[in-house]
Amino acid sequence: MESAKDSALDWHVARAALEWQLEMGVSEFIGEAPVDRFAVEPPAPKPAAVPQKPARPVMPGKIEEPRVDHVALAKQMAAGAPDLDGLRAALGAFEGCELKKGARNLVFADGNPAARVMVIGEAPGRDEDREGKPFVGRAGQLLDRMFDAIGMGRAATLSKDALYITNVLPWRPPQNRDPNPDEVAMLMPFVQRHVELVAPDVLVLMGNHACQAVLGKRGITRLRGQWEEALGRPVLPMFHPAYLLRNPHAKREAWADLLALQARLRDL
């Protein structure tokens, strides 16, 4: 039988373990038992076999880790995707990005692929990671309300009213940190192919990180509402809905941008 002393000891051990986890940056519990995602490789659907070749020749007598050029590999895998299912499978099979190991789900896209408007955000957050869908948390709910105000939404069946939504990164970064340039460089080939396959009339970029990835520039306060051309189509940068939640006074500009989008779609 467990003595009072043992259970007091367990309590202190459990508390010390919890404090250690908080110090290590644990911000939420997602399961009863720990999972070492570096040890467990999820079974990934394999699209076309892609040679993961060393980028440099190995010198005789020298033991070198084969170096993979992840950007080149991403380009090859993305280009080989014949359709959206193929692209999702290619992303699922891409092992170049460490974010995948810490994420629960691949967050590929949501909405109607026949939409005239494709929205590109930054990266999934906790809710998106959990559900495997982009923009489903508080910022996503605001995004839905914003587009609803101009008669558009991800559940619409008619292309003219529909939205298609994705992110630059398909995996949640730890603690929602910003995407780093290497991650963006290796995931952009998938975004480019995604845009090619959906072939929307217009792209809407939500926030600085999407602008940096697609336009190569940031400074959303200056960029928002200014039409640009990228990936072969008109592009409209807008404030990210998460920014609007923190800065409700900026909703006035967001409304002006939505009206500009509506007018542009009428003219195209």
* Between 73 and 184, CB nearer to ligand URA: 184
Smallest gap from residue 169 Cβ to ligand URA (A): 9
Bridge partners, 121 (sequence order): 167
Query: Is 66 in contact with 92 (CB distance < 8 Å)?
Result: no
Residue nearest to ligand URA (CB): 121
Smallest gap from residue 115 Cβ to ligand URA (A): 16
- Give, in order, the Cα–Cα distances in Å from 159 to each of 149, 155, 236: 17, 10, 18
* Between 87 and 129, CB nearer to ligand URA: 129
Cβ partners under 8 Å of residue 74, min gap 6? 94, 96, 186, 187, 188, 189, 190
* Between 92 and 125, CB nearer to ligand URA: 125
* Strand 110-111 with 117-121, pairing: unpaired
Smallest gap from residue 144 Cβ to ligand URA (A): 12
Smallest gap from residue 210 Cβ to ligand URA (A): 7
Contact residues for ligand URA (CB under 6 A)? Answer: 121-125, 128, 134-135, 137, 139-140, 167, 206, 242
Please, what is the Cα angle at 156 between 115 and 249, to 5 degrees?
A: 85
* Between 202 and 238, CB nearer to ligand URA: 238
- The H or E element spanning position 8 is helix 4-23
* Both tokens assigned to 243: 């920014």
* Between 123 and 261, CB nearer to ligand URA: 123
Smallest gap from residue 94 Cβ to ligand URA (A): 19
